[in-house]
Structure 1
């Protein structure tokens, strides 16, 4: 089974200097690519000088995460794509358990490894942790991370299990499935496009897996910091677009209405905290959603799986019930 490790880069020469060596050292089974989103730093000349075995793919502009990968992967010939952030440190034997699963489980389309925090290696990292889920209203959370609360890795998620979404920070997908789904949604630009792609894969009968035997460390926030208003805008807008495309038809408008009320409450909280740029980002996200609604409604498949969420409201559990550990959700659900 041929695997390609594809690293999307934009002005990330410092990250490439730090993390590309570990990818090369521990990925002997793979062909390694750097897909460059029209960097203006010395990324390309650096790779050519110090890592001549790495294949460079040049995009003509900064296409973001979604379109950046969609464009670059047209030039990659492999059975499995490993889409890896430039701020990921991989570990020995990180590919083997994932390739073995793909070889043995034809209905498994997407896999993510255990993602730990590069800065605090005993903790799970925000972007994916031990596998992703969503609630009824489309709010994402992870085993090991609910909202801003990160769990310490005590072996509680040392398993292989089905999940709802895999992190875009380190995202393995069969190339055949990627092509069948037309890749990431270009309208998303960045943030939650991996959740949308996973949901679409589930809607056509595939499964998503988390495999703890594969471990990587993620810096996180290398492109947009967690508190950046643009991140707020993209997350709120893209989540609404994702719900429009993937919700079961009978639940679509009631869930969208409930979600927009919850977004409004979040906006009021931002106002109360003096975070006016984030409040404005939510307003802009909702405006963009209205503009893009009809386009994205037309993207719906003929069938949507009726069961998609793990808990009804992660907002309720976290902010009202004060539950911030994934495994504690199910003793009180």
Structure 2
């Protein structure tokens, strides 16, 4: 069994593999590199086999998104190649840096309670600035809205060393996620119903309910292009983010007033729809409406998951106790360090 396996999920991402895979291989620190291809329709697989013979290629039968794709890929790593004690899951559009693995591996080895960890995520095209997908570690407020150290909604901080510490966070980004393999498989991996977006936050929430921890490591840095598979302007991304946020909140909230929170979310999502409408983005408005109907249609399955998770729970998990929407848009608190 390897200590670490580097596993990249690919779907029609040949251009990113061509650009970023050489750096991953050069900075793999002797650990095996896998690319799991989600039935790409470009020539990703033939390109990999011809240009990167050292990479272990896993061909998946279909595109099941980030969640289902990584579930299948990591199962294949375990069954076909003997597995690893830890996995790192960098997006295909991640540019790694020398020494990016060692600090996180040291954290994982020193503290068996850590189930997931992330490096600092900077923007590839703005190298001093934190990137949207994870920044320096994420949190969730009591209504299910997410934010990060270094990025709150559309405000992005420059990395000036203010988050160079190693510390627990609520969620670690799926853009470059390190996970403890036995915990990943023990928990059934990601919820494949999410397809993509927020499945890693849902998983981080679930493992904390079992007593594990999630950390961010300030000594490791990578750069992320972002939107490599699904651009932020695509209404499909809006749909997945809004739907999956509701899925996550309903499944995992273990306190009182669940439906009060859901109804409050309905109001706030309605307000955000008006903002989209003001900008003429009517397809995003339709995506939010569809997301809510998809949530209601999926309630029977979510209810079963909720019950099972409550039976398994050993640790109470604390969310950020105030509304990040209120603090950002009304109180004008734009950065993590300004928050209560």
Contact persistence 2:211–2:314 (CA under 8 A): no
Task: Provide the rounded CA distance (Å) in 2 between the counterparts of 1:86 and 1:112.
Answer: 16
Q: Report the counterpart of residue 34 of structure 1 in structure 2.
A: 35
Which of 85, 88, 98 is the aligned partner of 1:82? 88
Contact persistence 2:12–2:41 (CA under 8 A): yes
Q: Please tell me whether residue 208 in structure 1 is matched to residue 214 in structure 2.
A: yes
Larger displacement relative to structure 2 (232-241 or 318-327):
318-327
Task: Provide the rounded CA distance (Å) in 2 between the counterparts of 1:124 and 1:104.
Answer: 27
Contact persistence 2:209–2:316 (CA under 8 A): no
SS of aligned partner of 2:74: helix
Q: Please tell me whether residue 172 in structure 1 is matched to residue 170 in structure 2.
A: no
Q: Report the counterpart of residue 14 of structure 2 in structure 1.
A: 13
Which of 238, 242, 248 is the aligned partner of 2:248? 242
Q: Please tell me whether residue 97 in structure 1 is matched to residue 107 in structure 2.
A: no
Contact persistence 2:209–2:317 (CA under 8 A): no
Q: Please tell me whether residue 225 in structure 1 is matched to residue 231 in structure 2.
A: yes
Q: Report the counterpart of residue 268 of structure 1 in structure 2.
A: 274
SS of aligned partner of 1:267: helix
Paired residues, number: 330
Q: Report the counterpart of residue 286 of structure 2 in structure 1.
A: 280
Larger displacement relative to structure 2 (190-199 or 40-49):
40-49
Q: TM-score, normalised by structure 1?
A: 0.97
> Quick one: structure 1 residues 251 and 203, their matched pair in 2 at CA, closer, same or farther if it must change by over 3 Å?
farther
Q: Report the counterpart of residue 188 of structure 2 in structure 1.
A: 182
Q: Please tell me whether residue 113 in structure 1 is matched to residue 119 in structure 2.
A: yes
Deviation for aligned residue 1:156:
0.6
SS of aligned partner of 1:262: helix
Deviation for aligned residue 1:251:
3.3
> Quick one: structure 1 residues 307 and 78, their matched pair in 2 at CA, closer, same or farther if it must change by over 3 Å?
closer
Task: Provide the rounded CA distance (Å) in 2 between the counterparts of 1:227 and 1:42.
Answer: 26
Q: Please tell me whether residue 327 in structure 1 is matched to residue 337 in structure 2.
A: yes
Deviation for aligned residue 1:72:
1.0
Task: Provide the rounded CA distance (Å) in 2 between the counterparts of 1:316 and 1:194.
Answer: 25
Contact persistence 1:3–1:29 (CA under 8 A): no
TM-superposition CA deviations, 1:71-125 (whole Å, max 9, x none): 1111111110101100001111111111111111010110000111110100001
Unaligned runs of 5+ in 1: none
Contact persistence 1:80–1:175 (CA under 8 A): yes
Task: Provide the rounded CA distance (Å) in 2 between the counterparts of 1:165 and 1:133.
Answer: 6
Task: Provide the rounded CA distance (Å) in 2 between the counterparts of 1:159 and 1:249.
Answer: 31
Q: TM-score, normalised by structure 2?
A: 0.95
Q: Report the counterpart of residue 318 of structure 2 in structure 1.
A: 308
